[in-house]
Amino acid sequence: DAERKAREELDRLKGMLVGTRVVIAARAGDEGKLFGSIGNGDISEAIKRFIGVEIDRKKIEINEPIRSIGLHEVTVHLHQDVSFPVSLDVIPA
Q: Determine the 3-state secondary structure of 57 from DSSP.
A: helix
The structural domain count of the chain equals 1
CA 70 distance to own-chain centroid: 14
* pLDDT, the chain, mean: 94
Tell me the CATH number at 48. 3.10.430.100
Q: Which residues, at least 6 apart from 44, have a Cβ–Cβ distance to it below 8 Å?
A: 54, 55, 56, 57, 60
Structural domain harbouring 82: 2-92
**Contact indicator for 17, 76 with CB cutoff of 8 Å:** yes
pLDDT tens, position by position, 67-92: 999 999 999 999 888 999 999 999 99
DSSP bridge partners of 89: 23, 71
pLDDT, residue 71, reads 98
* pTM for the full predicted model: 0.90
- Residues of the chain falling short of pLDDT 70: none
**Contact indicator for 24, 88 with CB cutoff of 8 Å:** yes
